[in-house]
């Protein structure tokens, strides 16, 4: 459905602010894609057209970028996108099992097998929770890790992961991440933040927990320092 005039006016005002951050307007493509995703929950054909017109590039160029990166969706996303890391450390610690069990829990019998054959569009029947397989959540010291709309949920198990998605379906915005802000954003709200419009939670909570800081703690206790002249 095409953007209304009211929506276009609002998006254009935000786009002016976004493109002004960059010496070349084309560099603003990624945050502009987040902006349209914040509006509709995915990158629609109208969103692609809007980005192309703002930046003076072709729709093909926009589509090429939006389809390259997995954080951009091309069908409506859920309110809460659950990303299970299945990269090396998380996989060893149980990430693959968590993903498979959540696929069955959300998508029904056979969903895990479909996911194993490349089908990734798994969503709860009420549309509140979607499931993604992620390559790395950059939190190996808390493996296996799940992210919900890019907020951390550390040290997961199949049981805790199932409870998490059930809690998200019941009242997602009351669920608190392991680290970071005190509340979760919806998928659309998270995308507006990624577009560059903060919600005031950026400095809330610890971004690094004790497991991430063990090396620093030991260095201080033992008086370890970088070699002289090291950069």
pLDDT, position 223 = 94
Q: Which SS3 state, helix, strand or coil, does residue 202 take?
A: coil
Query: Could you please report the per-residue DSSP string of 12-70?
Result: HHHHHHHHTTSSSGGGGHHHHHHHHHHHHSS--HHHHHHHHHHHT--HHHHHHHHTTST
pTM, two decimals, is: 0.87
* Domains of the chain listed by start with CATH number: 5-66 (1.10.10), 80-183 (3.40.30.10)
pLDDT tens figures, 162-216 = 999 999 999 998 999 998 888 899 999 999 999 999 888 878 877 778 888 899 9
Does residue 150 or residue 112 have the better pLDDT?
150
28: alpha, beta or left? (left if phi > 0; alpha if psi -120 to 50) = alpha
Q: Read off the pLDDT band of 117 (50, 70, 90).
A: low
pLDDT of res. 220: 94
Over range 119-137, report the average pLDDT: 87
């Amino acid at each position: 459905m095409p953007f209304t005039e009211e929506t276009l006016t609002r998006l254009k005002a935000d786009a002016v602010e976004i493109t002004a951050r960059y010496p070349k307007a084309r560099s603003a493509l990624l945050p502009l894609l987040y902006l349209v995703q914040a509006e509709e929950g995915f990158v629609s054909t109208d969103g692609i057209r809007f980005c192309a017109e703002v930046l003076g590039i072709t729709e093909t160029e926009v589509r090429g970028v939006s389809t390259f990166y997995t954080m951009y969706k091309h069908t409506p996303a859920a309110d809460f996108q659950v990303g299970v890391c299945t990269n090396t450390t998380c996989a060893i610690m149980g990430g693959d099992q968590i993903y498979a069990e959540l696929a069955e829990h959300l998508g029904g019998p056979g969903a895990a097998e479909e996911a194993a054959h490349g089908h990734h569009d798994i969503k709860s029947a009420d549309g509140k929770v979607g499931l993604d397989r992620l390559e790395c959540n950059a939190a190996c010291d808390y493996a296996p890790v799940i992210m919900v709309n890019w907020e951390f949920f550390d040290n997961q198990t199949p049981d805790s992961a199932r409870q998490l998605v059930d809690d998200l379906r019941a009242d997602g915005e009351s669920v608190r991440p392991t680290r970071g802000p005190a509340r979760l954003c919806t998928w659309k709200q998270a995308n507006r933040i990624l577009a560059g419009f903060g919600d005031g939670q950026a400095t809330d909570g610890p971004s690094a927990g004790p497991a991430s800081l063990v090396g620093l703690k030991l260095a201080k206790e033992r008086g370890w320092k970088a070699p002289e002249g090291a950069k």
